[in-house]
Amino acid sequence: MQVDFLIVGQGLAGSLLAKELLRRGRTVHVVDDCWKSSSSQVAAGLMTPLTGRRFTLTKDYPELFASAKKRLTELGVFRPIEVYRMFVDEEQRAKGLKRTECKSCQPFIARVTSARGELDAGVADEFGGALMNGAWVDLPKLMSDVRAELVAAGSLTEASFDPADAVVTADGVTWRTIRAGAIIYCDGYKSALRGPFKYLPWQPAKGEALTLRSDVTDKPFILNREGWALPLGQGVWRTGTNWQWDQLDEAPTEPQKEKLIRRFRSYFGQEVQVDVTAHVAGVRPCTSDNHPFMGTHPTQPRTHLFGGLGPRGTVWAPLMADEMADYLCAGKALRKECDLARFPAA
Ligand X SMILES: Cc1cc2nc3c(=O)[nH]c(=O)nc-3n(C[C@H](O)[C@H](O)[C@H](O)COP(=O)(O)OP(=O)(O)OC[C@H]3O[C@@H](n4cnc5c(N)ncnc54)[C@H](O)[C@@H]3O)c2cc1C
**Pick from 2, 100, 144, 160: which binds ligand X (CB under 6 A)?**
160
Q: How far apart, in whole angstroms, are the C-alpha atoms of residue 55 and residue 284? A: 21
196 lies in the site for ligand X, by CB under 6 A:
no
- For residue 203, give the nearest of 285, 277, 273 by alpha carbon: 285
Please calculate the CA angle 82-271-254 and round it to the nearest 5 degrees: 85
Per CB under 6 A, the segment of 9-17, 119-127, 215-223, 331-339 that binds ligand X is 9-17
User: What residues numbered 22-41 form the site for ligand X, per CB under 6 A?
Assistant: 31-33, 35-40
Those residues whose C-beta lies under 8 Å from the C-beta of residue 138, and which sit 6 or more positions away, are 45, 77, 79
Q: How far is the CB of 280 from ligand X (least distance, A)?
A: 8
- For residue 156, give the nearest of 14, 308, 20, 304 by alpha carbon: 14
**Pick from 188, 196, 231, 295: which binds ligand X (CB under 6 A)?**
188
How big is the chain by its Cα radius of gyration, in Å? 21
10 lies in the site for ligand X, by CB under 6 A:
yes
14 lies in the site for ligand X, by CB under 6 A:
yes
Q: How far apart, in whole angstroms, are the C-alpha atoms of residue 229 and residue 93? A: 20
Paired sense of beta strands 178-185 and 2-8, if any: parallel
User: What residues numbered 297-326 form the site for ligand X, per CB under 6 A?
Assistant: 307, 309-315
**Pick from 7, 18, 28, 42: which binds ligand X (CB under 6 A)?**
42
Residue 39 sits at φ, ψ, to 5 deg, of: -70, -35
11 lies in the site for ligand X, by CB under 6 A:
yes
Give 156's strand partners: 30
User: What residues numbered 200-259 form the site for ligand X, per CB under 6 A?
Assistant: 207, 209, 240-241
Q: How far is the CB of 30 from ligand X (least distance, A)?
A: 9
Distance of CA 117 to the CA centre of its chain: 31
**Pick from 3, 6, 46, 132: which binds ligand X (CB under 6 A)?**
46
Residues that bind ligand X (CB under 6 A): 8-14, 31-33, 35-40, 42-46, 160-161, 186-188, 190, 207, 209, 240-241, 282, 284-285, 307, 309-315
